[in-house]
Structure 1
Amino acid sequence: MGTASKRRIRGTGLVAGALVAGTVAAATPGTAGAAEAARCAPGRTAPAYTCAQPGDLVAPALEELRPTQAVLGHDEVYYKLGRYRSDKDAAAGGFNKRFDDWCEANGQGEAASVRPDARLDDPSTFTCTVPLGQETEESVEPMKTAVVGPGGQLYLTDGHHTLTSFLESPDGGPRARVRLRVTDNFSDLSPAAFWQRMRAENKVWLRDADGREITVGRLPERLGLASFQDDPYRSLVYFTRDIGYAVPDHAPEFLEYQWGSWLRPELSLDGRDLDDPAAYLALVKDASRRMTALAPDAVVADGRTAAQLGRLAAWNDGKKETGGEFAKLGRPLTDAKPGKLAYALDFKKDVARTPACTTTLTGTHNGPLVVNRGVTCLDRASVRGPVTVRPSAVLVATGARVEGPVRADGAAGVQLCGTSVTGPLAVTGATGPVRVGGTGCTGNRITGPVQLVNNTGPVAFTANEVTGPLICSGNTTGVDTTPRPNTVRGPATGQCAHH
């Protein structure tokens, strides 16, 4: 690593043991446009991250990042979250993997020490093997990456699964920070020119969970499971790693998605039980054998060949089915070192199933929305007006935005995950589940008072940010506020007094 890179690393950084304050290194001649150079001149004040240059390390809060893809493999995130909540790593004499993952993502190797009360959102509670200022090319290489866009906005280009796992972790959250390596600064471009450049350089994945092309307007605004559609083929490819393929040096962007695009027409998931360990393992075996059966020069997707995407010459890297990565993958949860599938499916069983939608809204809905019957789903939709849920009806809002009050009286169910509500939220007399945040359900932002009153079904209210009073009373089963508490800027009373 050159001297300039080390200087930039010292500019600003979040490190285990301390939050290092400072400024990003100013743009140097030849690295920025004239307008950007003027903004970043000494003594001038520029928007956040505008002056960050390739090689700089910046330390944003997770809530500051904009995704560059609309889908995730949810089962991969479930694996990480399942392992993060487990004590198996500590029982084996190590540290919980979330601290290793954070240190690696922060350019600092692995966890070196972890206090009993250590938390991801407080890096002073653990240390990493590579101290700040002593980073090497090897320690910086696996860091997640970002591009600076118009207005100094940071766009995450690698690490959506890992950083979403940090955000969803009970000791993480949207305000947790981790360093990113800046690869490009396109802040002097117009929005249209920015996205044209991002597409040209393959720094954005514009496909939905079914592999269909989408526009940049369909990209989510923030991280969190609820922000992303679930692409099961992306998870499947993740579990075939080092069995059917290995990530090559200088891997192309979106490598796993390209493998997933190839698998989609090759291997149907219809009738596959992705909640059953044996069935899932058999699917991984089938998919990975198809990958290694390809000729090295076979085109997989987007002009990339199997060799370029890391195809292994022999299935399971030449090892028997009872050995290698395949055997590790299938280890049960009772094993001292469970496999990834066991962790993923154990966590997945605790994620409440979303009821089947009878009506699905996407895009923008202007005016009042009344849910009279059935199950109405807001799928990353925007509603500009009040939302009313009538008795016996169900509302499911996932990654949505509501500009107006939400009121449900006698509903058969209400579920809000990763949704922003500008206005009061009142759920009273619900006969079915009320779920506002929770395991596998991203916390919500509610700007207004919240009332959860006299509901007879189970009520969960977890990891939410509320600006206003929180009133919970008369709920038959109480209110579950685990595993991560809510942030309430206002009085919290009744069953939510300790939120």
Structure 2
Amino acid sequence: MNRSKAAGLPRRGARLLAGALAASTVVVGVGTGTATAAGAGGAGPVGAGVCAGSGPLPYSCARPGDLIDVTLGELHPTQAVLGFDQVFYKQGRYGSDRDEAAGGVNKRFDDWCETNGQGEAASVGPGARLDDPASFTCTVPLGQETAESLAPMKTAVVGPGGKLYLTDGHHTLTSFLEGPDGSTRLPVRLRVTDNFSSLSTAAFWQRMTAEKKVWLRDENNRPLGVEQLPSRLGISNFRDDPYRSLVYFTRGIGYEVPDGATEFLEFSWGSWLRGKHDTNAYDLTSPGPYLDLVKSASKSMAALDADAVVDDGRTAAQLGRIAEWNGGKKETGGDFAKLSRPLADPKPGKLAESLDYKARVVRAPECTARITGVRNGPLTVTNGVTCAERAALRGPVTVRAGAALVLTGSMLEGPLQADGAAAVHVCGSSLTGPVAVSRTAGPVRAGGPGCTANSVTGAVVLTGNTGGVQFAANTITGPLVCSANAPAPDNTGRENEVRGPRTGQCAGV
């Protein structure tokens, strides 16, 4: 796969090759050197002058059915929640060497090839990385895709200004981003289902809502506005919905994804299960109680009549309900038995791998004060736990002894200084200005399991912290200086990108 920046645009020779895909809107022939958005699902023509020729074209020239090369950082979510435990399963699997020890290849290469419309991994060289597609091959070469290989591809809609809105694949692509070789620059190929680039922003969201291409509910199933959607991928930019994870683990036991599945199918099941089973009544960090919940929920799903309405007019049959629980097999067989396998098993179940990874996630303290939106001027945290969530802070931030700061999906323009704090967590955020964190008694976390990496423009100095320092996959434009931290900072296997000198304990982080 050619990964030049220009390759981000419609690949003319990689249109749908044979028949209508199970979930596609349109089948388009090989390009003729021009592009319009006036086909089915389109919102109107794109200027012929802009879209003429065979070279790199703007995303706004893409037609339904086009395959486009993108990077993860270019994608805009159309949902605000994820099932974190599903992502944790993928993270556990991607970061494990079990697949290689069994003579196979790491699952993330199979998943990338499938997402790219290229089957599964064929060969994976030593040191292969997802961000270097030349280091591995897929079973279906580029240009030889089939309807079958293209069907599992993730999908996107082209919106105003040529922005790309992801309509399927939030969990998979977030798992790639948070994986061992993940970053916003990681390449992947998507299939365009619609081009609404000629619409105004208001008309775009009206159409997306009318066509059910956006999920506007929060983790408690309450309505959200489009302005509350995350602006980018990364687990820290989403909220956790345990019912979405629950549905994932019932797959093959209580339901199967049907052909022609609509977007957000699993969320519809989750909305229905919310009224039948209380996830708060189960310990979702322990395999036994979690399996009990999966069994109970999946039996409820399988017991539904085929024509029973589950959510938003969709019936159980339309949402893939299985007629016989666990395919008619006992608990000791079928997909339920596979899910139940412990971590010590040569082929552990998804739940065991998810919970093993989940146990590595350092939890942020409970917030006592919250900041959202724009805040101008200095901020001094003197006590409690101040959480800035999707906020824009313009001014210096100081954390006093015994207080804690949690920055999530936020922007900080100004220095950050913490001395003697109880805890400092910075996830999925952008910081401009020097960062100095010293003598923290509790966790210092910037990247790592469950915490999206950050970008910092300025020096980062970590000194004398004693509660553990996780510093992983961040991009630092400036020096990184670490000393007297006990234990030494841990990059959790994901090296930081530092555009400046690294000294002290962070020389190899």
Can you give the 5+ residue segments of structure 1 that lack an aligned partner in the other structure?
Answer: 12-22
In structure 1, the partner of 2:14 is 9
Instruction: Tell me, in whole angstroms, the C-alpha distance in 2 between the residues paired with 1:486 and 1:112.
Output: 30
Report whether the alignment pairs 1:79 with 2:84: no
- Where in structure 2 are the equivalents of 1:284-363 lying within 5 Å? 284-363=294-373
Contact 2:33/2:54 (8 A) holds in 1: no
Q: Alignment partner for residue 137 of structure 2, among 110, 122, 127?
A: 127
**What per-residue deviation string (whole Å, max 9, x for no partner) do you get for residues 427-476 of structure 1?**
12222211111122110111222121232331121110112222222323
SS at match of 1:178: strand
Amino acid at match of 2:382: N
Contact 1:47/1:151 (8 A) holds in 2: no
- Where in structure 2 are the equivalents of 1:203-218 lying within 5 Å? 203-218=213-228
SS at match of 1:54: coil
Can you give the 5+ residue segments of structure 2 that lack an aligned partner in the other structure?
Answer: 1-9, 17-30
Contact 1:63/1:175 (8 A) holds in 2: yes
**What per-residue deviation string (whole Å, max 9, x for no partner) do you get for residues 230-282 of structure 1?**
00000000000010011111011100000001111211122310010111111
Q: Which moved more, 1:420-429 or 1:299-308?
A: 420-429
Given the superposition, is the C-alpha separation of residues 88 and 27 from structure 1 closer, same or farther in structure 2, using an over 3 Å criterion? same
- Where in structure 2 are the equivalents of 1:214-229 lying within 5 Å? 214-229=224-239
Amino acid at match of 2:504: G
Q: Alignment partner for residue 166 of structure 1, among 172, 176, 182?
A: 176
Instruction: Tell me, in whole angstroms, the C-alpha distance in 2 between the residues paired with 1:41 and 1:143.
Output: 25
Report whether the alignment pairs 1:240 with 2:245: no
Contact 2:51/2:61 (8 A) holds in 1: no
Report whether the alignment pairs 1:183 with 2:188: no
Instruction: Tell me, in whole angstroms, the C-alpha distance in 1 between the residues paired with 2:422 and 2:86.
Output: 31
In structure 2, the partner of 1:27 is 35
Q: How many residues align?
A: 484
Structure 1 residue 34, shift from structure 2 partner? 6.6
Contact 1:439/1:483 (8 A) holds in 2: no
Q: Which moved more, 1:187-196 or 1:101-110?
A: 187-196
Q: Which moved more, 1:131-140 or 1:463-472?
A: 463-472
Q: Alignment partner for residue 468 of structure 1, among 468, 478, 481?
A: 478
SS at match of 1:337: coil
In structure 2, the partner of 1:107 is 117
Amino acid at match of 1:27: A
In structure 2, the partner of 1:263 is 273
Q: Alignment partner for residue 454 of structure 2, among 444, 447, 450?
A: 444
Instruction: Tell me, in whole angstroms, the C-alpha distance in 1 between the residues paired with 2:45 and 2:55.
Output: 13
Structure 1 residue 187, shift from structure 2 partner? 1.2
Given the superposition, is the C-alpha separation of residues 124 and 297 from structure 1 closer, same or farther in structure 2, using an over 3 Å criterion? same
Given the superposition, is the C-alpha separation of residues 284 and 445 from structure 1 closer, same or farther in structure 2, using an over 3 Å criterion? same
Amino acid at match of 2:472: T
Report whether the alignment pairs 1:369 with 2:383: no
Contact 1:39/1:45 (8 A) holds in 2: no
Contact 1:25/1:56 (8 A) holds in 2: no
Amino acid at match of 2:35: A
Amino acid at match of 1:331: R
Q: Alignment partner for residue 194 of structure 1, among 181, 195, 204?
A: 204
In structure 1, the partner of 2:20 is none
Structure 1 residue 423, shift from structure 2 partner? 2.2
Given the superposition, is the C-alpha separation of residues 487 and 48 from structure 1 closer, same or farther in structure 2, using an over 3 Å criterion? farther
- Where in structure 2 are the equivalents of 1:352-431 lying within 5 Å? 352-431=362-441
Structure 1 residue 477, shift from structure 2 partner? 2.0
Given the superposition, is the C-alpha separation of residues 279 and 29 from structure 1 closer, same or farther in structure 2, using an over 3 Å criterion? closer
Contact 2:247/2:269 (8 A) holds in 1: yes
TM-score (norm 2): 0.91
Given the superposition, is the C-alpha separation of residues 374 and 332 from structure 1 closer, same or farther in structure 2, using an over 3 Å criterion? same
Share of identical aligned residues, percent?
Answer: 64
TM-score (norm 1): 0.92
SS at match of 1:82: helix
Given the superposition, is the C-alpha separation of residues 313 and 475 from structure 1 closer, same or farther in structure 2, using an over 3 Å criterion? same
Structure 1 residue 29, shift from structure 2 partner? 8.1
Contact 1:108/1:132 (8 A) holds in 2: yes
In structure 1, the partner of 2:159 is 149
Amino acid at match of 1:326: F
SS at match of 1:363: strand
Structure 1 residue 189, shift from structure 2 partner? 1.4
**What per-residue deviation string (whole Å, max 9, x for no partner) do you get for residues 344-398 of structure 1?**
0111111112212222333333333221111112233332332221111011112
SS at match of 1:165: helix
Amino acid at match of 1:165: S
Instruction: Tell me, in whole angstroms, the C-alpha distance in 1 between the residues paired with 2:85 and 2:32.
Output: 36
Structure 1 residue 93, shift from structure 2 partner? 2.7
Contact 1:24/1:49 (8 A) holds in 2: no
Amino acid at match of 1:415: H
RMSD: 2.2
SS at match of 1:179: strand
In structure 1, the partner of 2:19 is none
**What per-residue deviation string (whole Å, max 9, x for no partner) do you get for residues 22-63 of structure 1?**
x99631484466762245243699974121111111111111
Contact 2:72/2:177 (8 A) holds in 1: yes
Contact 1:8/1:24 (8 A) holds in 2: no
In structure 2, the partner of 1:14 is none
